[in-house]
């Protein structure tokens, strides 16, 4: 038997012994009482949604276990499938948009309500739904225990949703705290659970709700997959506890589509690597090099300059020493929120000298993502437009003063606009003889066209850094 085979066999044996021990330890849970607690605060969510990508779209339907977190019917669930924002989308302009079209929320005793989708938290992937027709009915919200200190070996339990054809709909599971992670963030890592159970409420042996099951944030993903899809070297999801303190902050101000309260500084950046730090004789664990300062941003107003090196935030060292970890800094700024005053310790070159100083900045609201921008569907010509957003200007290397209009965000394959030559990503600057600088002007111009019913509509568009005319034939039947 070679060493690798031996290692695997002993690893499997250790896992088997661990889960056998887990089964024995699980007898300390009062599952009858826990089942009653879970049923009181749990709902089943049926969501029908449309998934669109440029000219392609399809409909899907999913089913989730939700947890009531407020008396007025606010519900959390695993919103990973509905999270649209990504840095890839920002840089490429190609976004996959997932739009809920119908939501039903059912209690476990069979009462059904209508739900409204609010949004998904970017980093935890917690989705939020608001029940809109609760009336005089009362729902019991979950109450999370605060200031819980975990130790390795603590046992936690949860309930998961079973397939629709199975009765009863919920099943219990147990896991164990396997380690207390310190970097890239404090996190009580667990074993025994799987990614199908994400956002299920975790209970300790005293039947206190101590958080929900989430994934360890991977700073190398660029923030696109957030906390829910970080994997270790053995392709095992790194799952653990999203704490009550963090949950309460998100629940108190849940994300809403089309709105953002995330903090924004307004810089492009790169990591201060170990080699760079040694070259500049900086004895720091990492830092952020400012590559560009966005005009009229909090960074510009605070006096940050290109070449500045941020080495501390509110007195705490910045531990970013490679570009893969830049998201740690970006997330820290985002979660501080708009309106927060932040003290940055920076190093600035002054001739041959390095000058260390403090800079105070008040964070602004992060710019809207493309998928959150207001849209207008032109049903008569079978395409959709939206306002330009910050990510578009970054991608086009333009600023609002030099590029205005509305961007084609969806177009029906084989539809009138598609056949006429309009393309996904075109920036429409004039419709007929009417110039358009924003969505409101575009909507007014389209409404005028629909009243006049011409045989064709001429669009003046900006595409691939040049302008051209596109003639779209109409069909007013």
* pLDDT tens by residue, 367-392: 887 877 888 999 999 999 999 998 88
Task: Give mean pLDDT, residues 398-421.
Answer: 91
Q: CA-CA distance, 397 to 394, in Å (whole number)? A: 5
Q: CA-CA distance, 207 to 219, in Å (whole number)? A: 33
CATH superfamily, region 373-473: PDZ domain (2.30.42.10)
CA distances in angstroms from 356 to 254, 285, 347, 350, 459, listed in the order given: 38, 16, 5, 10, 54
Task: Give mean pLDDT, residues 43-72.
Answer: 87
Say whether pLDDT at 291 is over 70.
yes
Task: Give mean pLDDT, residues 150-159.
Answer: 95
Q: CA-CA distance, 407 to 414, in Å (whole number)? A: 19
pLDDT class of 229 with cuts at 50, 70, 90: very low
DSSP for 172-225 reads EEEEEEEEEE-SSS-EEEEES--GGGTTPEEE-TT--EEEEEEE---GGGTTSS
Q: What's the mean per-residue pLDDT of the chain?
A: 86
**Least trusted range by pLDDT, from 15-24, 207-216, 306-315:** 15-24
pLDDT of residue 90: 45
Does residue 276 have a cis peptide bond before it, meaning omega lies within 30 degrees of 0?
A: no
pLDDT class of 55 with cuts at 50, 70, 90: low
Between 325 and 461, the higher pLDDT residue = 461
pLDDT class of 432 with cuts at 50, 70, 90: very high
According to CATH, the topology of domain 263-365 is Pdz3 Domain (2.30.42)
Are 28-258 and 373-473 in the same CATH fold?
A: no
pLDDT of residue 354: 87
Q: CA-CA distance, 10 to 16, in Å (whole number)? A: 10
pLDDT of residue 34: 94
Q: pLDDT for 100-109, tens place per residue?
A: 889 999 999 9
pLDDT class of 27 with cuts at 50, 70, 90: low
Say whether pLDDT at 223 is over 90.
no
The tokens describing 271, both together, are 């990591």
Q: What is the CATH number of domain 28-258?
A: 2.40.10.120
pLDDT class of 69 with cuts at 50, 70, 90: very high
Say whether pLDDT at 25 is over 90.
no
pLDDT of residue 227: 37
Q: CA-CA distance, 36 to 56, in Å (whole number)? A: 44
Q: CA-CA distance, 381 to 384, in Å (whole number)? A: 9
Is 186:150 a contact under the CB 8 Å cutoff? no
Domain positions in the chain are 28-258, 263-365, 373-473
pLDDT class of 255 with cuts at 50, 70, 90: confident
pTM, entire model: 0.72
pLDDT of residue 148: 93
- Top mean-pLDDT range of 57-61, 261-265, 312-316: 312-316
């Amino acid at each position: 038997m070679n060493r690798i085979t031996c290692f695997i066999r002993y690893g499997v044996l250790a896992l088997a012994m661990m889960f056998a021990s887990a089964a024995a330890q699980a007898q300390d849970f009062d599952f009858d009482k826990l089942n009653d607690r879970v049923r009181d605060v749990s709902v089943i969510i049926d969501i029908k949604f449309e998934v669109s990508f440029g000219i392609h779209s399809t409909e899907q339907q999913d089913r989730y276990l939700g947890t009531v977190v407020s008396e007025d019917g606010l519900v959390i669930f695993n919103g990973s499938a509905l999270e649209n924002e990504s840095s890839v989308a920002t840089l490429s302009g190609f976004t996959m948009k997932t739009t809920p079209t119908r939501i039903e929320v059912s209690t476990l005793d069979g009462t059904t309500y209508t739900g409204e989708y609010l949004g998904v938290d970017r980093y935890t992937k917690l989705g939020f739904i608001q029940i809109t027709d609760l009336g005089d009915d009362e729902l019991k919200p979950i109450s999370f225990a605060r200031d819980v200190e975990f130790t390795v070996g603590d046992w936690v339990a949860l309930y998961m949703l079973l397939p629709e054809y199975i009765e009863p709909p919920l099943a219990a599971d147990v896991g164990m705290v396997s380690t207390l992670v310190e970097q890239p963030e404090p996190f009580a890592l667990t074993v025994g659970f799987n990614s199908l159970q994400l956002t299920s409420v975790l209970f300790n042996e005293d039947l206190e709700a101590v958080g929900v099951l989430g994934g360890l944030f991977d700073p190398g993903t660029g923030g696109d997959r957030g906390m829910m899809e970080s994997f270790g070297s053995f392709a095992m999801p790194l799952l653990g506890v999203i704490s009550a303190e963090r949950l309460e902050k998100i629940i108190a101000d849940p994300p809403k589509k089309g709105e953002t309260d995330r903090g924004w500084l307004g810089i492009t950046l790169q990591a201060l690597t170990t080699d760079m730090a040694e070259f500049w004789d900086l004895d720091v664990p990492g830092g952020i090099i400012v590559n560009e300062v966005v005009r009229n941003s909090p960074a510009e107003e605070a006096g940050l300059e290109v070449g500045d090196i941020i080495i501390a935030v509110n007195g705490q060292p910045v531990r970013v020493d490679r570009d893969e970890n830049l998201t740690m800094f970006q997330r820290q700024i985002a979660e501080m929120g708009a309106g927060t005053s932040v003290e940055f310790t920076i190093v600035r070159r002054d001739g041959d000298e390095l000058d260390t100083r403090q800079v105070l900045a008040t964070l602004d609201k992060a710019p809207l993502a493309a998928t959150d921008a207001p849209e207008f569907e032109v049903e008569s010509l079978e395409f959709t437009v939206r306002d330009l957003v910050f990510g578009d200007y970054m991608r086009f290397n333009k600023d609002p003063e030099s590029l205005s209009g509305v961007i084609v965000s969806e177009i029906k394959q084989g539809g009138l606009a598609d056949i006429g030559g309009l393309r996904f990503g075109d920036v429409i600057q004039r419709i007929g003889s009417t110039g358009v600088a924003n969505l409101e002007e575009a909507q007014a111009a389209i409404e005028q066209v629909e009243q006049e019913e011409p045989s064709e509509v001429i669009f003046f568009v900006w595409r691939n850094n040049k302008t051209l005319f596109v003639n779209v034939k109409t069909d007013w039947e």
